[in-house]
Amino acid sequence: MDNEKTKTKVIQKMRTGEVKASAIAHPNIAFVKYWGKRHTGTAREKLNIALNKSVSMTLSDLRTYTTVEFGDYDRDQIIMNGEEVRDERVIDHLNLIRREADIDKKAKVFTENNFPTASGIASSASGFAALTVAACKAAGLDYGERDLSILSRQGSGSACRSIFGGYVVWKKSKISSESYAEQLADENYWELRDLIAVVSEARKKVSSIDGMSMTVQTSPLYMARLEEADKNANHAIEAIKNKDFDSLGQTIEYDSLLMHATMITTTPALLYWAPPSVAIMHAVVDMREEGIPAYHTMDAGPNVHVITLPEYTDKVEKRLKEIDGVKSILNCGPGPGAQEVYKHLF
Ligand code: PMV
């Protein structure tokens, strides 16, 4: 990545002042989850090399929009949803991209989500995917999807999957240069729906970064889940290839419960579920008994993703809205990968 040709391009761009770029990226829902990273010797395992293979669907409608400009600023300035924040993870990520591009200019970053931030709707995935695409472009790095996936992963593991649209696999590897995501099928391949029952828009108390490290260190169930997760990933891939919704749904629900079993048995316990989350899971099982194909899955937060087929969307949505504690429903399908856009936020 770090070759002379790229560097020349960067310098030319800096001279002509073309140092601003924007990108849009979408979150993704993991059908088979990433939870646990390899110890890399760095204090916070910053390389984010997943211990297991994971499978996801990139989501339509929800998005992060980010503009990055490198310039003569005295510090990095980050404006998130209209407020200036000091976010060390964003600064670390800018540093990574500055090292790649061999530049030392500070950056101005404007970023906006059209959905709740850090509440288990994978805002870090869309956030770091959009930041990577915009910052690389602004720094003059003309990277392909694989390199963008590797870089995004170092901001937030799940972000490596949001570089791609549709159905995506993050393969398992021991080394950074081989730990990246690949597209299994694009967003037009199969119209599944993800109805996200929002029960809380509050930021989660324990971040995924801290939570997964605690689980790997303390849950006696972690190793058992690790073996199952790779099998689940292969089942999910087969089910997507065959468009076998029930087989995929069973794997999705099983893998989510398995991951939450390791979270709950972490010391101290990571119980991301709120009372309405449990009510939603019961309702999903009831719906299935009535012949409605729907399966639940949850990330590191109380909101529940209900995966169903398009023809059942209205029925499922109606049922979810009746549950006490459900504040709103976000209705998403398969969405596109991260893309550069040419309208800037500042
Ligand atoms: O990418 P991170 O560090 O926010 O971790 C994501 C973890 C889960 O959302 C729970 C699972 C996943 O694979 O997206």
CA of 38 to the centre of ligand 1 (A): 14
Q: What is the pLDDT of residues 108-118, one digit of tens each?
A: 999 999 987 65
Take residue 302 and report the two structure tokens written for it. Answer: 């109380």
Ligand 1 closest atom vs CA 157: 1
Mean per-residue pLDDT, 158-178: 96
User: What is the DSSP-derived secondary structure letter of residue 176?
Assistant: G
CA of 198 to the centre of ligand 1 (A): 17
Distance between CA atoms of residues 219 and 168, nearest Å:
28
- Helix 313-321 vs helix 275-289: angle between axes, to the nearest 10 degrees? 140
CA of 124 to the centre of ligand 1 (A): 8
Contacts for 81-90: CB closer than 8 Å, 24+ residues apart: 81/111, 81/112, 81/113, 81/117, 82/112, 89/155, 89/156, 90/131, 90/155
Amino acid making up residue 108? K
Distance between CA atoms of residues 13 and 114, nearest Å:
31
DSSP string, 87-151: -HHHHHHHHHHHHHHT---EEEEEEEESS-SSSSS-HHHHHHHHHHHHHHHHTT----HHHHHHH
Distance between CA atoms of residues 59 and 331, nearest Å:
9
Distance between CA atoms of residues 204 and 301, nearest Å:
6
CA of 214 to the centre of ligand 1 (A): 14
Instruction: Look at strands 77-80 and 64-71 and give their pairing.
Output: unpaired
Ligand 1 closest atom vs CA 120: 9
CA of 327 to the centre of ligand 1 (A): 23
Nearest C-alpha to atom 6 of ligand 1 is from which residue? 158
Q: Which residue has the tokens 């002379």?
A: 4
- Cα dihedral: 28, 34, 35, 38 (round 10): -130
Pocket of ligand 1 (CB under 6 A): 30, 33-35, 54, 122, 124-125, 156-158, 208-209, 299-300
Percent over 70 (pLDDT), the chain: 92
Q: What is the pLDDT of residues 210-252, one digit of tens each?
A: 899 999 999 999 999 999 999 999 999 999 999 999 999 999 9
* Number of residues that this document lists for the chain: 346
User: Residue 159 — pLDDT band, cuts 50, 70, 90?
Assistant: very high
Q: What is the pLDDT of residues 245-256, one digit of tens each?
A: 999 999 999 999
Amino acid making up residue 189? Y
Distance between CA atoms of residues 299 and 57, nearest Å:
13
